Amino acid sequence: MDEPASAAELAGARGARPPIERGEGASIGARSSAAAGPRAIVETVRFGLKEMGARRSVALYLKANKKDGFDCQSCAWPSPDGKRNVAEFCENGAKAISSEATTKRVTRDFFARWSVDELARESDRWLNDQGRLTEPMVRRPGHDHYEPIGWDDAFALIADELHQLDSPDQAAFYTSGRTSNEAAFLYQLFVRQFGTNNLPDCSNMCHESSGTAMVESIGVGKSTVVFDDFDATDTVFIIGQNPGTNHPRMLSALERAKRNGATIVSINPLPEAGLFRVRNPNPQEAPDPIRFLPELLGAGTALSDLHLPVRVNGDVALVKGIMKAVLEEEEQRPGEVLDHRFIERHTHGFSAFADDLRSLTWDRIVDACGVDEGQIRAAGRIAAQAKRMIACWAMGLTQHRNGVDNVATVLNLLLLGGHMGRPGAGACCVRGHSNVQGDRTMGIWERMNPGFMDALGAEFSFTPPPDAGLDSVDAIRAMHAGDVKVFVAMGGNLLGAAPDTDYTAVAFQRCSLTVQISTKLHRGHLVGGRTALILPCLGRSEVDRQRMGEQFVTVEDSLGVVSSSRGSVEPAAPDLRSEPAIVAGLAEAVLGRSGTVEWSALADDYDRIRDHIANVVPGFEDFNDRIRRDVFYLPNAARQREFKTSTHKANFAIAELPVHALQPDEYLLTTIRSHDQFNTTIYGDDDRYRGVFGGRRVIFINADDAAAGGLRAGQLVDVTSHFDGQTRVAPSVKVVPYPIARRSAAMYYPEANVLVPVGSVATKSNTPTSKSIRITLAPANSR
């Protein structure tokens, strides 16, 4: 059971929150009318020059996402299977590349000057701006400064802490989506040989609801489309996703689909710039200046034909309304709308599903989603006419209590028209981080399937632990309760991504040891266990030299494409190690050299890791030969209309409409990124797409809601969340009237994470409900 936090713990937890902005905070200006365009070029050049200089910028930008280059550290949107653009990157990807390849350095002198308490008073942007970490550092019990430590001593310290545990399950080993396939495979092998399945990862925090729903509905937890399907589709639904900021290269695929005649429907509480229009600054190998320049400098390409401003977590009601309209079209034109052949041959549960839709009244649908019946019927007509439909979604659907139902309902829409396993059609679950999907494929999961575990055990002559491990939320709760005492993170910033910031900070403080394997400084380094280690690693863009020569790694993108990644610039410091080398060194220190794995040999030559992957993971046969020839797709049974579910068919799911019953002064809050950040990494304080400049502590609410609540633009308010009789407060947040759906609100994370209750999670997937937070607003300091 959780113990109440002590005064000292609560004092430390305050350092886990991003500080209140100095001065007046954000100013509000004009919003962008289109995504990308000349401003994206200017920002890319400006950021690159600031962080890397001109020559380094050009060299790295032109290598990003190329087959002979490195995979961008940012989002998991795929690159074209064949010929790629001269500039195969976006503005936000360029910021991620520049941030990693910066010429700034964080040295031992920096840590000698700055105490942890002093660093905690600085902004997340300032922390990231300090530069690359250069050598292992340790903060010892009772100390407020990090000091240098050698690699061997760091590994010995970790080994000593792990050996003192009563059980391997008292340790948790986190992974971020930056980790390569090779590092992830080695990491999970070490953890399981140590004796636990406690492998929480960033997917637990974001797309676990997607995987859960997809496996139940279609038997595979990954996207069913391939890259070229966007050229063949006639209809695209974009639901709960903001591609202009979170996956900007996706705009090129949407632009091509639009030019090929596709109809695009967007469903989102906010009217994001990237949903409506794009000015593509990304020329092909031989751009036509007569066409390219006017488009870049002009209005650009219109994207959405229909936008539905759904209330926060009104998606089940809205999509059920669209499907109800499709059924009504079928009743008017029997045999002409639904794909009856597909439904009869390949699906289960249609009759009960259809009866549920018929029983749902339009009044209930409209009341639950906030979109009028005419707009919903218009979307229904588009869906009814579609012959090749793609449905795309992201975390706007997954981080709700009913996140699994949200995704299952979207899959129902695809199944109605047979939009599965044919060109130009299918499910497109857009993952957020570069290799988060590959991590899962490589075994980073607390509940890997028996087939994988048996193959892993046979390959390395050991018996993997049989019991399920802890996911991210459960690991945080276990740390808070004292049941997990050692926390090791392979990349990422769990403190900045997790719910309930104060609770999570106390959980970290209660560990005997926390270890962060990182490239840059972040707030997670400042709130750690009694002993805290920082182990600096190579970045994706850097040359990886091991004993057997230069190495490359591989990643898997959102569409299941495996590609190679090879860095090209010199490492930021001579004492950096690659992630595989760090895992190997740690494994040897903890497990010794007498086991079944030659850890050093695997770190010396990544081909040896890939040979083991080929023997364990389906779809990776002849891995080394195939990846040297080209990229390749992993098998996906649903693409062949083979559904590996309990019924051996695709399953229609019946989802109840969520009931929020908001009080007159309550809103439902969703967390979002600004345009100047990637995940928890803050690059700047501007969000030009939404017209916010110079600050981040803002809350977007509908102008009519603001007026009804007596709130004015620019007013500072305290935001209070309400859950299970508990309240949490984010103070001093500026009101921004915005064309968001009524009774909805939005704030940037990590500033809003303090409001997300750790106990509020999605059914089945245990994902935090960061997109469904019940809040009230009050003038600042009125409590």
Q: Are 261 and 416 in contact (CB under 8 A)?
A: no
What pLDDT score does 285 carry?
A: 45
DSSP string, 704-742: HHHHHTT--TT-EEEEEEEETTEEEEEEEEEEEE-SPPT
Task: Assess whether pLDDT exceeds 70 at residue 287.
Answer: no
pLDDT band at 288 (very low <50, low <70, confident <90, very high): low
Residue 74 lies in a domain: no
Q: Looking at residue 733, which CATH number applies to its domain? A: 2.40.40.20
Q: Name the domain boundary from 398, 414, 429.
A: 429
Range scoring the smallest mean pLDDT among 297-306, 446-455, 598-607, 630-639 = 297-306
Distance CA 566, CA 441 (A): 21
- Any residues with CB less than 8 A from the CB of 222 and at least 6 apart, and which? 211, 214, 429, 437, 559, 560, 634, 636
Between strands 561-565 and 486-490, the pairing is: unpaired
Distance CA 192, CA 184 (A): 12
**Nearest-5° Cα angle at 214, 211 to 216:** 110
Range scoring the smallest mean pLDDT among 2-16, 245-259, 585-599, 652-666 = 2-16
Between strands 137-139 and 531-536, the pairing is: antiparallel
Phi-psi region of 331 (alpha: psi -120 to 50; beta: other; left: phi over 0): alpha
Residue 57 lies in a domain: no
Average of per-residue pLDDT across 428-453: 94
pLDDT band at 283 (very low <50, low <70, confident <90, very high): low
What pLDDT score does 22 carry?
A: 82
For all residues of the chain together, what is the average pLDDT? Answer: 95
Residue 463 lies in a domain: yes
Task: Assess whether pLDDT exceeds 80 at residue 505.
Answer: yes
Residue 220 lies in a domain: no
Whether residues 594 and 684 share a domain: the answer is: no
Average of per-residue pLDDT across 752-759: 97
Average of per-residue pLDDT across 574-592: 97
Q: Tens of pLDDT along 638-656?
A: 999 999 999 999 999 999 9
Whether residues 493 and 352 share a domain: the answer is: no
What pLDDT score does 783 carry?
A: 45
Whether residues 408 and 439 share a domain: the answer is: no
Residue 261: count of CB within 10 angstroms of its CB: 8
Q: Which residue has the tokens 């040979």?
A: 611
Average of per-residue pLDDT across 354-361: 98
Whether residues 608 and 679 share a domain: the answer is: no
Residue 653 lies in a domain: no
Average of per-residue pLDDT across 568-584: 97
Residue 590 lies in a domain: yes
Task: Assess whether pLDDT exceeds 70 at residue 284.
Answer: no
Whether residues 455 and 420 share a domain: the answer is: no
Q: Name the domain boundary from 594, 610, 625.
A: 625
Whether residues 723 and 603 share a domain: the answer is: no
- Any residues with CB less than 8 A from the CB of 366 and at least 6 apart, and which? 321, 372, 373, 376
Task: Assess whether pLDDT exceeds 90 at residue 289.
Answer: no
Average of per-residue pLDDT across 455-479: 97
Q: Are 128 and 99 in contact (CB under 8 A)?
A: yes
Whether residues 745 and 768 share a domain: the answer is: yes
What pLDDT score does 6 carry?
A: 85
Whether residues 571 and 597 share a domain: the answer is: yes
Q: Are 370 and 742 in contact (CB under 8 A)?
A: yes
Q: Looking at residue 582, which CATH number applies to its domain? A: 3.40.50.740
Residue 641 lies in a domain: no
Distance CA 31, CA 553 (A): 40
What pLDDT score does 295 carry?
A: 66
Whether residues 457 and 407 share a domain: the answer is: no
The amino acid occupying position 772 is S
- Any residues with CB less than 8 A from the CB of 58 and at least 6 apart, and which? none
The amino acid occupying position 187 is Y
What pLDDT score does 290 carry?
A: 57
Task: Assess whether pLDDT exceeds 80 at residue 341.
Answer: yes
Task: Assess whether pLDDT exceeds 90 at residue 456.
Answer: yes
Average of per-residue pLDDT across 73-92: 88
pLDDT band at 292 (very low <50, low <70, confident <90, very high): low
Whether residues 366 and 243 share a domain: the answer is: yes
Average of per-residue pLDDT across 21-38: 90
Buried b (16+ CB within 10 A) or exposed e, 447-461: ebeeebbebbeebbe
CA nearest neighbour of 371 among 327, 418, 306: 306
Task: Assess whether pLDDT exceeds 60 at residue 286.
Answer: no
Whether residues 376 and 476 share a domain: the answer is: no
Distance CA 736, CA 698 (A): 7
Helix (H) or strand (E) holding 147, with range, is strand 147-148
Residue 150 lies in a domain: yes
Three-state DSSP state, 745: strand
The order of strands in the sheet holding 301-302 is 35-36, 277-279, 301-302
Q: Tens of pLDDT along 695-717?
A: 999 999 999 999 999 999 999 99
505: exposed, middle or buried (C-beta count within 10 Å: 0-12, 13-18, 19+)? Answer: buried
Q: Which domain holds residue 620?
A: 136-206+435-625
Phi-psi region of 631 (alpha: psi -120 to 50; beta: other; left: phi over 0): beta
Three-state DSSP state, 111: helix
> Per the structure block, which two tokens stand in for 684?
């700047």
Give 721's strand partners: 728, 775
Asked whether the whole model's pTM tops 0.75, one would answer yes
Q: Tens of pLDDT along 156-170?
A: 999 999 999 999 999
Q: Name the domain boundary from 400, 429, 458.
A: 429
Which one-letter DSSP state was computed for residue 519?
S
> Per the structure block, which two tokens stand in for 543?
């040359």
Whether residues 718 and 577 share a domain: the answer is: no
Helix (H) or strand (E) holding 233, with range, is none
- Number of structural domains the chain divides into: 3
Chain centroid to CA 219: 22
Percentage of residues in the chain with pLDDT exceeding 70? 98
pLDDT band at 781 (very low <50, low <70, confident <90, very high): confident
Q: Tens of pLDDT along 373-427?
A: 999 999 999 999 999 999 999 999 999 999 999 999 999 999 999 999 999 999 9
Q: Looking at residue 353, which CATH number applies to its domain? A: 3.40.228.10
CA nearest neighbour of 177 among 497, 543, 590: 497
